[in-house]
């Protein structure tokens, strides 16, 4: 088996698990907006288990890369994979999960979201908050951020911003019990913004 073929197969598995994790996170966000907090807890627990599994897959991938196939003794057995299988695997990877590090990281959205909420009077509709966040991150958001997610339902940066909001709700910087479709800064969020902690 070619080293690149194994690497491609591991990347395919890694991307599939990350896509599953993205869908779980979307469900958490939806449940939170609906106020179904028991469901949020269950899904969050599952997210954590999947993230742990993902780390194991990543470690296995790194371990495989450290095993240099070129250092194998001459005459070592190899297993041939039909090229149609390899081509199909490579085709399946197209349009999948974005390579780590290309999109703007979630933490970069923290301050712009808090600033936007303060400027909007402390609470506002999601669309209004994100419109202001986009202006604040002009020149920061890149082509990968503006690309649609594999689902095609939303551009990547808006999804990242929503996950950032979820994280800040968990940290107490935003209110958890805001009306559906409304984001609201908490007193702790205001203090963190004023102190420069975010």
Q: Last residue of a domain, which of 39, 69, 97?
A: 97
Q: How far apart are CA 42 and CA 24, in angstroms?
A: 11
Instruction: Check residues 188 and 73 and name the one with the higher pLDDT.
Output: 188
Q: What pLDDT does 80 receive?
A: 44
Is the predicted pLDDT of residue 29 greater than 80, yes or no?
A: no
Among candidate residues 78, 102, 94, the one with its CA nearest the CA of residue 5: 78
Contact yes or no for 104/137 (Cβ under 8 A) = yes
Same domain, 138 and 183: yes
Tokens of 162: 């929503």
CATH number at residue 145: 1.10.10.10
Number of structural domains (the chain) is: 2
By residue range, what is the domain housing residue 136? 102-198
51 in the same domain as 129: no
- Alpha helices by DSSP H, listed for the chain, are 3-33, 37-66, 83-93, 110-119, 126-136, 143-146, 156-171, 187-195
113-126 per-position pLDDT tens digit: 999 999 999 999 99
Q: 77: which 2 tokens?
A: 């057995």
């Amino acid at each position: 088996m070619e080293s690149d073929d194994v690497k491609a197969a591991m990347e395919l598995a890694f991307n599939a698990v990350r896509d599953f994790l993205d869908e779980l996170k979307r469900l958490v966000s939806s449940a939170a907006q609906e106020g179904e907090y028991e469901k949020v807890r269950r899904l969050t627990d599952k997210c954590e288990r999947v993230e742990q599994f993902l780390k194991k897959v990543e470690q296995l991938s790194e371990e495989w890369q450290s095993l240099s196939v070129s250092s194998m003794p001459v005459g070592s057995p190899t297993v041939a994979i039909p090229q149609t299988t390899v081509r199909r695997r490579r085709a399946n990877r197209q349009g999948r999960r974005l390579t780590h590090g290309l999109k703007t990281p979630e933490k970069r959205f923290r301050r712009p979201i808090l600033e936007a909420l303060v400027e909007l009077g402390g609470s506002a509709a999601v669309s209004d908050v994100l419109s202001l966040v986009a202006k604040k991150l002009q020149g920061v958001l890149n082509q990968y951020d503006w690309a649609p997610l594999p689902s095609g339902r939303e551009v990547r940066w808006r999804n990242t911003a929503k996950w950032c909001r979820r994280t800040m709700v968990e940290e107490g910087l935003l209110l958890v019990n805001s009306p559906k479709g409304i984001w609201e800064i908490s007193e702790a969020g205001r203090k963190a913004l004023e102190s420069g902690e975010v």
